[in-house]
Structure 1
């Protein structure tokens, strides 16, 4: 038990700040639809085919346009991708509301980049994944260590005093209360980064090999991108195949031969951008393949629920409030851990002086 306690303290002291910042940034992102505050962001969704098709034709004709994240029920603006970091928000009638050339011009973009990549691309994603695994270790070991001192449990939102013993006691008791929510947050977050970990979590829902195959992006070969793709025809065919689905993401190919990708969300899907997808030949606009997310293996469908749970895209305000509690608890536990470990450590006991020893 002493070894477990040492591991818990040292890993917390080393990575607690990362977890605290992830908790804070994640909590802020839970409410981004409320604080972006651009004109039209609260407009009701106009998902009829004629409106979406006309707006898509208009926006994709803009120089440098590479794709669109369509408006949804929670956010009434389309987001247009215009380059590596450049982009724009547009109304559902196709009028540009805001443009940027760098993510640093939009707080929701750089906060998202920090929360997912620590501003370091794939390397930062690995750090976050490791932090998620460590966070899982924290929750499990914290419950085990708390059990020994359960009789001294006291619920406090803030330490009684800013002394190390009071902070440790607060950390222990707050941690066990928030443990279920923290476990959900760190497990679902880590699932989105480490595929082997995710496959292990969803293994009870179906064969791992079947799930892994279903999660691999399909590869198709088509022609080079046409000068004027017929987006209206593409969207019309997509709506014919999935009449009840919302249009979510349209992406142009990154290189010749890749298809145009269209993601859609059916009513029964939890994932906000859906996993129902259609691959279209970039030269002709003809359908190369279509994937119905509701017909994927059970393991793949379980995996697709990780992000909606993590980002509170399901469950309405009650679940968003619970995830807010989780994020704030992670921020408080992580920051107090670092402070108490590095700045409030007990001073080493003084050795008796030679004179005191002789006197004794």
Structure 2
């Protein structure tokens, strides 16, 4: 038990700040649709084929346009992505009528973009994802070991939102008692978040729902090869074909090929899908606009469908306000537990006990 306590304290002292910042940034992102504050963010969704097709043709005709994340029922603006010579994050928000609301030449001009980048990559790309993944696994260890360690002190349990005093013993007691209350919520946040970062961990978690091998194969995008991108692709025809195949689905993401020969990709969300951007996908030949393939997310293997539910659970894209409040409590608890763990470990460590005079004299004699 002493070894478990030591591991819990040391890993908390080393990774607690990362988890605290992830909890804080994740909580802020839960409400981004409310604080972005641009004209049109609250507009009702206009998802009819004629409106979406006309807007798509207009936006994708803009120089450098590379793709669109379409508006949805919670956020009324389209997000447009442009290709940048220096690989930057150039983009714009546009109304559902195709009018540009604002543009940016870097993610640092839009707080929702750089907060998202921090939460998912720590501003470090793939390397940052590895750090987050390790922190997620450590968070899972914290929850399990914390419950075990709390059991010894269960008779002293007191529910407090804040420590009684800012002394080390009071903070440690508050940490243990708050941790046991928040443990179920933290477990959901940590497991779903780590699933999106570490694919092997995700395959273990979805194993009860189906074959991980089949799920991994179904999730990976198929390889299609077509011609070079046409000078003026017929987006209306593509959207019309997509609506024919998935009549009740919303248009979610349109992406142009990254290199010559790759297809144009269109993601849609059917009503039964939890994933906000859907996983029902069509691929079109970039030269001719012909359908190369299509994937119906509702017919994917059970393991793949379980994997697709991790993000909407983690990001509170389902369940409305009740679930968003639950995940808010989880994020705030993670922020408090992680920051206090670092504070007590590095700045409120107990001082070594001084030997008593009697023992010193006895040792001398």
TM-score normalised by the chain length of structure 1: 0.98
Separation of aligned partners in 2, 1:250 and 1:38: 22
Question: Match for residue 281 of structure 1?
Answer: 285
Separation of aligned partners in 2, 1:356 and 1:221: 82
Separation of aligned partners in 1, 2:352 and 2:49: 72
| Alignment pair present for 1:266 and 2:270 | yes
Question: Match for residue 68 of structure 2?
Answer: 68
| Alignment pair present for 1:106 and 2:82 | no
Separation of aligned partners in 2, 1:296 and 1:355: 72
Question: Match for residue 334 of structure 2?
Answer: 330
Residue 89 of structure 2 aligns to a residue whose secondary structure is: coil
Residue 227 of structure 1 aligns to a residue whose secondary structure is: coil
Question: Match for residue 242 of structure 2?
Answer: 238
Question: Match for residue 125 of structure 1?
Answer: 129
Question: Match for residue 183 of structure 1?
Answer: 187
State the 1:352 CA deviation: 4.7
Question: Match for residue 166 of structure 2?
Answer: 162
Separation of aligned partners in 2, 1:105 and 1:209: 41
Q: 1:355 to 1:4 in 2, by over 3 A?
A: closer
Question: Match for residue 52 of structure 2?
Answer: 52
* Aligned counterparts, 1:187-202, within 5 A: 187-202=191-206
Separation of aligned partners in 1, 2:30 and 2:281: 26
Question: Match for residue 94 of structure 1?
Answer: 98
Dislocated runs of 4+, deviation >6 Å:
none
Which of 109, 120, 141 is the equivalent residue of 1:116?
120
| Alignment pair present for 1:247 and 2:251 | yes
Which of 226, 230, 247 is the equivalent residue of 1:226?
230
Separation of aligned partners in 2, 1:257 and 1:243: 29
Residue 51 of structure 2 aligns to a residue whose secondary structure is: helix
Separation of aligned partners in 1, 2:282 and 2:118: 30
State the 1:5 CA deviation: 0.5
TM-score normalised by the chain length of structure 2: 0.97
Name stretches of at least 5 consecutive residues in structure 2 with no aligned partner.
Answer: none
Residue 317 of structure 2 aligns to a residue whose secondary structure is: coil
Question: Match for residue 15 of structure 2?
Answer: 15
Separation of aligned partners in 2, 1:333 and 1:33: 27
Instruction: String of CA shifts for 1:149-178, please: whole Å, max 9, x gaps.
Output: 111100000000100000000000000000
Separation of aligned partners in 1, 2:308 and 2:23: 22
- Farther-moved stretch of structure 1 (16-25 vs 348-357): 348-357
Aligned length: 360
Question: Match for residue 342 of structure 1?
Answer: 346
Separation of aligned partners in 2, 1:56 and 1:210: 35
Residue 253 of structure 1 aligns to a residue whose secondary structure is: coil
Question: Match for residue 317 of structure 1?
Answer: 321
Residue 192 of structure 1 aligns to a residue whose secondary structure is: helix
State the 1:120 CA deviation: 0.4
Question: Match for residue 30 of structure 2?
Answer: 30
State the 1:356 CA deviation: 5.1
Instruction: String of CA shifts for 1:121-145, please: whole Å, max 9, x gaps.
Output: 0000110010000000000000011
State the 1:351 CA deviation: 3.2
Instruction: String of CA shifts for 1:305-354, please: whole Å, max 9, x gaps.
Output: 00000000000000000000000000000000000010000001123569
Name stretches of at least 5 consecutive residues in structure 1 with no aligned partner.
Answer: none
State the 1:221 CA deviation: 0.4
Separation of aligned partners in 2, 1:276 and 1:151: 52
Separation of aligned partners in 2, 1:310 and 1:335: 21
